[in-house]
Chains A and B, each alone.
Chain A
Amino acid sequence: MRNKTVLLTRTLIKNGEGLGIRGSSTFAKVMIILVFAIMVPMLMFGVSSLVAALLKILKQIGQEGVVLSWGIAVNSAIVFVFGIFYIISTFYFSSDIENLLPLPLKPRQIIGAKFLVVTFYEYLTTAVFFLPVWITYGVVMRSGFLYYLYGLIVYLLMPVTPLAIASVIIMIIMRFTNLSRYKDTIKVVGGTIGIFIGVGINLVIQNIAGMMSQDELMELLQKGNNSLVVLTSGIFPTARWGAEAMIYSGKLPGLLSLLIYAGFSLLIYAALLWLGQMIYLGGVVGLSETGSKRNHRKGLELEKKAVRGSVIRTYTLTELRLLFRTPIYFLNCVLINFLWPVFLVLPMLFQPEQAKTEMMQQLSIALASPEAAGWIIVISFAAASFLGGSNGTTSTSISREGQELYVKKYLPVSYRQQLTAKVLSGFVLGLAAVIMMVLFAVLGLKLSPWLGLLILATAWLPVLLTSLTGIIIDLYNPKLDWDNEQKAVKQNMNVLYNMAAGAIPAVLTIAAKAALPGLSSLIATTILLTAVYGLLCLFLFKLLFTLGVKRFCRLEG
């Protein structure tokens, strides 16, 4: 009999979506393949050149191994943070669970298979950053066969520890929150707590590493002989062994480090399976149930609840309701807008007291200077553009319809109105991120409230711009063929494409300001930015209402 975990893993991977280009227009397919064929090798080449340059310097002081330990540590930390989102979705929010629970599978087989699927997808992400580090180090240091073999083992084991730690945290939280009849709310709260704990733990670990004094650091640096590798265990505990296995691949310490690295990974995987066997079912069974009040006494209350509203308002409100009430949409499209400022504030809270006050003082002084005002507006436009682009609301707004897209086809509402309402829902959420940003700047960094108001009055334009790019991207490359909600947002490349679409104007705005030193006054900068972003929005609206509407009309779910 074949191993059920392996069998299930293979089925789940086959059931996945790959690049997610099924159902895309031919134009979108070509674009996506081009982006991948050009961007990924370019990125890998960039990392590789950086590593080669770093190695040249580090070799002179005998610290070249730091490149490897950093490569492993940073990759593991990234896997850990993103893994938290990924694990919640696949372990608890994915609808295939309802089909798996009735099968004669042990909880640890389900957990094992789902864990392996996530690990498999992580290989694709880590490859982009780790492969260039691994290969470049090998070539520059003229390493032998064992180096590459150990490197392969390290690469294959790298996602295991961070993902297993993330899984354990999530499983414990979900086990104890899966109690109420308000399942959706609890899922959202549980997921949010999980994300905060994950980010918190990561910051605490980094902070401990940062506590070493300047003198201690210098002493360590001067020792040579890759002594700095030890430090990276501060970023991710097991990174050091992985790196040492590769650095000393020809010698006994290398083999020992590899054994420790592999042993730890297998041990924590086994611990995960053991824990999963005990508590997974308690957390997942009945998770999709919904509470029902069956209220006999209250009556229908139609006077309050059945009131006519405008088409656009009702449509937008319904979009927002679904975004807030569907846990996986909430985490990816709504919460993300409120998380950015938290990501900014948390590291500051963990700084030593003295450094914190000094930094805040310096920032406040810098912000108050008259020359800074022009820059502040530029940076807030750039930040709003990036924040707007990174919330996946409009870039998944067509995809989220999935097989239910037909409903929108028979409604007697023009496609133009429907698309406008979808843009509005993303715009409202993106605006929340800008408001959070301004609040943080005014309350935390003592930015002038007037400047804060000016930002609020103008920086909605970049949010509108990225809401428009998002929906246009999703119209041309919608992911409609999904069987669970997480595939519509989590495994949807359109979110990434729109993040890039938001990053481009952000970078260009800053670059333009740097290239035009004559443009220093606040008023001139604001007028110019408002005009440029305003015109771009008008152009995209025109595009959406002509080609976009035609495209929506042609889409058949």
Chain B
Amino acid sequence: MIELTNVSKIYGNTVKAVDNLNLVIPDGEIFGFLGPNGAGKTTTIKLIAGILNANSGTIRINGLDIEKDALSAKMQLGYVPDTPNVFLRLKGIEYLNFMADMYEVSTEDRRERIESLAKRFSMDDVLNDRIQSYSHGMRQKIIIMGVLVHNPPVWILDEPMTGLDPRSSFLLKEMMREHADSGNTVFFSTHVLDVAEKLCDRVAIINKGQLLFCGSMEEMQDHFKKNTSLENMFLELTESEE
């Protein structure tokens, strides 16, 4: 479960990237976070992951405060950043082992998970190569594998489908569904509204740091009093804000 209460983030004393945001994402839910470029999506995600400190408000992951109880809270989550270009000079296997050590995963568990993830993502042939030699999609896959190696209850993914081939993208969506269905939380941002519409239990739309809407597809259609696509509603919502 993720809870954001009155969270604000200000850059350089002037720019309000996130403005008094309140969100509760319960267990068992896939939650889509939508908004135009520069709306505050990545900032919110970085606040949840403990990368940025909020100016005010509290963020709890499974009841643990991300600032006050940082290490235990971070143990609960797996974060996939929007750019997969990290640790390029490590080999895939070295990166996975590094992440497993950081998250204190036992030798047996890591072997089992690495093996099964490598098979699922068709990465078993390349784990002994440096990440630098990987394509964009393969880098994205190794990052996702690094996050899943400690089997975190809460997944936070920033634009996870970017660069993935159709098969891997399908696989990831399937894994997100499985994870939520077994009582965990999946929070992800995306620009692909089709994906959000089909995959998410609820979505939130944010613009200029403020929450414009939060609810299920049905609630959104009720809100607009018409049976139209998420794309149309998104455009209408964000346009009226311009």
CB-defined interface of A396-424 with B at 8 Å, one 1/0 digit per residue? 00000000101101111110000000000
**CB contact between A306 and one of B50, B51, B110 (< 8 Å): that residue:** B110
A251 at the interface (CB under 8 A from B): no
List of B residues within 8 angstroms of A308 by Cβ: 100-101, 105-107, 110
A310 at the interface (CB under 8 A from B): yes
A218 at the interface (CB under 8 A from B): no
Binds A, one of B18-26, B91-99, B207-215, B222-230: B91-99
CB-defined interface of A301-327 with B at 8 Å, one 1/0 digit per residue? 111011111110011001001100110
Binds A, one of B123-131, B177-185, B196-204, B234-242: B123-131
Interface centre among B77, B81, B86, B133, by most A CB within 10 Å? B133
B91 to chain A, nearest CB (A): 9
The chain B residue with its CB closest to the CB of A184 is B89
A400 to chain B, nearest CB (A): 12
Q: How far is the CA of A289 from the CA of B88 in the complex (A)?
A: 12
By the criterion CB–CB under 8 Å, are A305 and B97 in contact? yes
The chain A residue with its CB closest to the CB of B118 is A300
A159 to chain B, nearest CB (A): 33
Q: How far is the CA of A300 from the CA of B104 in the complex (A)?
A: 21
A215 at the interface (CB under 8 A from B): no
The chain B residue with its CB closest to the CB of A181 is B133
**CB contact between A414 and one of B71, B85, B93, B111 (< 8 Å): that residue:** B71
A14 at the interface (CB under 8 A from B): no
Asked whether A311 and B102 contact (CB < 8 A) given A294-B126, A305-B97, the answer is yes
Q: How far is the CA of A289 from the CA of B97 in the complex (A)?
A: 24
Q: How far is the CA of A289 from the CA of B50 in the complex (A)?
A: 34
By the criterion CB–CB under 8 Å, are B53 and A553 in contact? yes
Q: How far is the CA of A322 from the CA of B128 in the complex (A)?
A: 16
Asked whether A410 and B50 contact (CB < 8 A) given A291-B133, A314-B98, the answer is yes
A309 to chain B, nearest CB (A): 5
By the criterion CB–CB under 8 Å, are A410 and B49 in contact? yes
By the criterion CB–CB under 8 Å, are B128 and A295 in contact? yes
A314 to chain B, nearest CB (A): 4
The chain A residue with its CB closest to the CB of B156 is A410
A554 to chain B, nearest CB (A): 8
B115 to chain A, nearest CB (A): 6
- Interface contact tally, CB-CB below 8 A: 115
Asked whether A411 and B129 contact (CB < 8 A) given A302-B114, A322-B89, the answer is no
List of B residues within 8 angstroms of A290 by Cβ: 129-130, 132-133
B10 at the interface (CB under 8 A from A): no
CB-defined interface of B61-92 with A at 8 Å, one 1/0 digit per residue? 00000000001101101010100011101100
The chain A residue with its CB closest to the CB of B123 is A300
By the criterion CB–CB under 8 Å, are A296 and B133 in contact? no
A283 to chain B, nearest CB (A): 19
Interface centre among A293, A295, A308, by most B CB within 10 Å? A308
A298 at the interface (CB under 8 A from B): yes
Q: How far is the CA of A367 from the CA of B125 in the complex (A)?
A: 58
By the criterion CB–CB under 8 Å, are B89 and A311 in contact? no
Q: How far is the CA of A209 from the CA of B102 in the complex (A)?
A: 58
Q: How far is the CA of A404 from the CA of B85 in the complex (A)?
A: 8
List of A residues within 8 angstroms of B105 by Cβ: 308
Q: How far is the CA of A414 from the CA of B87 in the complex (A)?
A: 20
A97 to chain B, nearest CB (A): 16
By the criterion CB–CB under 8 Å, are B101 and A411 in contact? no
Asked whether A413 and B89 contact (CB < 8 A) given A300-B114, A306-B96, A314-B97, the answer is no
A360 to chain B, nearest CB (A): 42
B117 to chain A, nearest CB (A): 11
Q: How far is the CA of A184 from the CA of B106 in the complex (A)?
A: 33
List of B residues within 8 angstroms of A294 by Cβ: 125-126, 129
Q: How far is the CA of A554 from the CA of B51 in the complex (A)?
A: 10
B141 to chain A, nearest CB (A): 15
The chain A residue with its CB closest to the CB of B129 is A292
List of A residues within 8 angstroms of B110 by Cβ: 306, 308
CB-defined interface of B153-176 with A at 8 Å, one 1/0 digit per residue? 000000000000000000000000
Tell me the B residues contacting A by CB distance below 8 Å. 46, 49-53, 71-72, 74-75, 77, 79, 81, 85-87, 89-90, 93-94, 96-98, 100-107, 110-111, 114-115, 118, 124-130, 132-133
13 A-B Cβ contacts within 8 A?
A290-B130, A290-B132, A294-B125, A294-B129, A306-B114, A308-B107, A318-B87, A318-B90, A409-B49, A410-B50, A412-B72, A412-B75, A554-B53
| 9 extra interface residue pairs, beta carbon distance < 8 Å, beyond A290-B130, A302-B93, A322-B90 | A292-B133, A298-B128, A305-B97, A308-B106, A314-B97, A404-B86, A410-B74, A413-B71, A414-B71
